C-alpha cells in the first residue's frame, strides 16, 4: 500500500508549493510514513490530516497519493502529465509532461524522451517534472 503514496521528497516539495489537501497519512521529519490516528491512537479510515494541521515542524508533511498530487497540480497550477506506454523490445513507458496555462501564450509543452522500466518510475519522473515547472512559474 505504501507505493500508492508519493515519496517523502515529493511530499515536501508539494508542501512548499502550497499543497494542503486532506491525506490519510503523513511523513515524520525522518521520512517515515505514518497513518493518521485520533487522540487515542485509534485508526479511522475516514480521518485525514492537512499540512496546515501538522504542528511538528517544516520537515513533517502529509503523504499524498500519486493521484492526489497529479489532480492538485492540475487544479492549482494548470499542469498535467501523461504516461504513455510504448512497445519496443520490451515494455517501456514514456512520460509526456504537458503544462497548459491559458494565460501563457504559447502554452508550455515538454516531452520526456526517456524510457522507464516501469509505470511507477515514469509516474515519479513525470511528477518531478511537473513540480519543477510549477516552481519555475
Domain of 44 in residue numbering reads as: 2-64
Query: What is the pLDDT confidence band of residue 6, given thresholds at 50, 70 and 90?
Result: very high
Does any domain span residue 50?
yes
pLDDT at 122: 86
Last residue of a domain, one of 42, 64, 86: 64
pLDDT at 14: 96
pLDDT at 70: 94
Last residue of a domain, one of 64, 89, 109: 64
Cell of 78: 494548470
Structural domain count of the chain: 2
Q: Count the helices and strands in the chain (H runs, E runs).
A: 3, 6
List beta partners, residue 13: none
Does any domain span residue 71?
no
Contact 72, 18 (CB under 8 A): no
Does any domain span residue 98?
yes
Cell of 105: 501564450
Last residue of a domain, one of 15, 31, 64: 64
Do 124 and 85 lie in a common domain? Answer: yes
Do 54 and 89 lie in a common domain? Answer: no
pTM of the model: 0.80
Do 59 and 84 lie in a common domain? Answer: no
Q: What is the pLDDT of residues 101-133, one digit of tens each?
A: 555 555 566 666 677 888 888 889 889 988 998
Average pLDDT, the chain: 79
Amino acid at each position: 500500500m505504501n507505493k500508492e503514496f508519493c515519496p517523502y521528497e515529493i511530499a515536501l516539495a508539494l508542501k512548499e508549493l502550497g499543497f494542503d489537501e486532506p491525506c490519510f497519512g503523513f511523513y515524520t521529519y525522518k521520512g517515515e510514513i505514518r497513518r493518521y490516528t485520533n487522540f487515542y491512537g485509534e485508526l479511522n479510515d475516514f480521518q485525514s490530516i492537512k499540512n496546515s494541521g501538522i504542528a511538528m515542524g517544516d520537515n513533517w508533511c502529509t503523504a499524498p497519493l500519486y493521484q492526489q498530487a497529479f489532480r492538485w497540480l492540475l487544479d492549482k497550477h494548470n499542469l498535467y502529465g501523461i504516461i504513455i506506454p510504448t512497445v519496443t523490445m520490451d515494455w517501456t513507458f514514456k512520460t509526456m509532461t504537458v503544462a497548459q496555462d491559458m494565460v501563457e501564450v504559447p502554452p508550455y509543452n515538454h516531452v520526456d524522451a526517456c524510457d522507464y522500466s516501469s509505470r511507477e518510475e515514469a509516474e515519479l519522473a513525470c511528477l518531478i517534472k511537473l513540480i519543477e515547472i510549477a516552481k519555475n512559474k
